[in-house]
């Protein structure tokens, strides 16, 4: 879909990986009119064409889980502004650090198709290409396995202890009984 954004007012953009996929956030700010426009994945989700207050913040949600997001607009020197994105009440950096601890993602090609699988360690939810999967848990001699199916593939994520407190639990993805290498 072609973009209708005025290039001169586009002041910030971010990409953020959530469980349901990678989302692109763009922000337009008219520094004379106070105009604010927020786009998520190319779709306009908020517009205010005239505002007297040039600084402040704009709240919105991102993704299928409606994750709370906020763009803060702060005055710098002269007529310059700084734009920062926070997600779920945390700075983007802190949110991404926390997300890397609470989820694990694999990006791979299966039969020529780009596939992104995300495992949420805290909820045990599994997402494949933005869709939440039905899962079934099972205890095995090796650890626990969370089974799911997508397309014509059967898959599971095996959780085993590393044996070292510092490393904790190791999660490994298997598709059609083949181990998928970690990408980290």
pLDDT tens-digit series, residues 67-115: 999 999 998 877 788 999 999 999 999 998 888 888 999 988 888 888 9
Q: In this predicted structure, what is the pLDDT of residue 155? A: 94
Q: In this predicted structure, what is the pLDDT of residue 3? A: 44
The values of phi and psi at residue 73, to 5°, are: -115, 115
144 Cβ contact list (under 8 Å, min separation 6)? 137, 138, 158, 159
Confidence of residue 4 (pLDDT cuts 50, 70, 90): very low
Question: Rounded to whole angstroms, what are the CA distances from 18 to 54, 56, 57, 62, 110?
Answer: 30, 25, 22, 9, 21
Domain limits, CATH 2.40.128.180, in the chain: 7-88, 101-180
Q: In this predicted structure, what is the pLDDT of residue 40? A: 96
Q: In this predicted structure, what is the pLDDT of residue 183? A: 62
Q: In this predicted structure, what is the pLDDT of residue 9? A: 81
pLDDT in tens, 32-56: 777 899 999 999 999 988 777 778 8
Q: Is the pLDDT of residue 7 over 70?
A: no
Confidence of residue 170 (pLDDT cuts 50, 70, 90): confident
**Angle 110-159-105 from CA coordinates, rounded to 5°:** 40
**Of 162 and 128, which is predicted with more confidence?**
128
| Record: fold of 101-180 | Lipocalin (2.40.128)
Side by side, which strands form the sheet with 90-91?
A: 56-62, 67-75, 81-87, 90-91
For the chain, what is the radius of gyration of the CA atoms?
Answer: 20
- Answer whether 0.85 is exceeded by the pTM: no
What CATH architecture does domain 7-88 belong to? Beta Barrel (2.40)
Do residues 38 and 44 touch, judged by C-beta distance below 8 A? yes
Mean pLDDT for the stretch of residues 138-156: 90
Do residues 107 and 116 touch, judged by C-beta distance below 8 A? yes
């Amino acid at each position: 879909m072609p973009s209708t954004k005025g290039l001169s007012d586009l002041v910030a953009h971010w990409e953020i990986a959530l469980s349901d996929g990678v989302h692109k956030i763009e922000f337009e700010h008219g520094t004379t009119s106070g105009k604010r426009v927020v786009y998520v994945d190319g779709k306009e989700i908020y517009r205010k064409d005239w505002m007297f207050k040039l600084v402040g913040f704009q709240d919105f949600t991102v993704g299928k889980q409606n994750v709370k997001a906020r763009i803060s607009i702060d005055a710098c020197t002269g007529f310059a502004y700084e734009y920062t994105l926070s997600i779920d009440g945390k700075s983007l950096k802190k949110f991404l650090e926390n997300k890397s601890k609470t989820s694990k993602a694999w990006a791979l090609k299966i039969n020529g198709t780009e596939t992104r699988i995300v495992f949420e360690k805290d909820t045990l939810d599994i997402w494949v290409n933005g869709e939440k999967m039905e899962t079934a848990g099972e205890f095995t001699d090796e650890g626990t396995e969370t089974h799911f199916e997508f397309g014509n593939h059967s898959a599971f994520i095996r959780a085993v202890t590393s044996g070292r407190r510092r490393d904790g639990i190791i999660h490994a993805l298997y598709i059609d009984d083949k181990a998928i290498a970690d990408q980290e």
